[in-house]
Amino acid sequence: METTDLSGMSPEDAREYVLRCATQLHSIKRERAQLRKSFEEWERRARLAQEAGNTELYNEALAQCRAFTEKHEALGVEEAELAHDVAIMKENLRSVKIAGERTIDPDALLRNLESVVGEHHALENDMRSAELDVELEALKRKLAEEETRAPEQDEK
């Protein structure tokens, strides 16, 4: 299983796994910050040893600086990979949550909708009836207008 693959896990297990990885990432960041401080301290010591002309202490301090730099760089690679994986897992976690949610029964949803607004064909009939009523009223107005105009034309 790929480290970013959360399929097959329950939403709770997937969440815990992502949280452990994110915690590990945070620990690496703290360790790198500490290594950076240690490097800066040994770099300061190297300068002091060089200023004092003590080549033995200077060389030892430089060796310590190199060791801290190597650890810092190695953890940097690990941090970048883990940060990438955690970002992918967080995105995948949304899918696991959605898959873990209860599925919707479309037939039950349709029954609930029909109980609120009425059955589909009944609703269409009601709408058609309303449209016919509007058309009938328009025809009645037109007929009434024509009847009022007809006596005016008979008088002429």
pLDDT in tens, 95-116: 776 555 555 667 777 777 777 7
Do 120 and 62 touch, CB atoms closer than 8 A? no
DSSP state of 54: -
* pTM tops 0.75: no
pLDDT for 42 equals 94
Please name the helix (run of DSSP H) or strand (run of DSSP E) that holds residue 121, with its range, or none: helix 120-155
Does residue 37 carry a pLDDT above 90? yes
Q: Is 29:79 a contact under the CB 8 Å cutoff?
A: yes
How would you label 35-60 residue by residue, b for 16+ Cβ within 10 Å and e otherwise? beebbeebbebbeebeeeeeeeebee
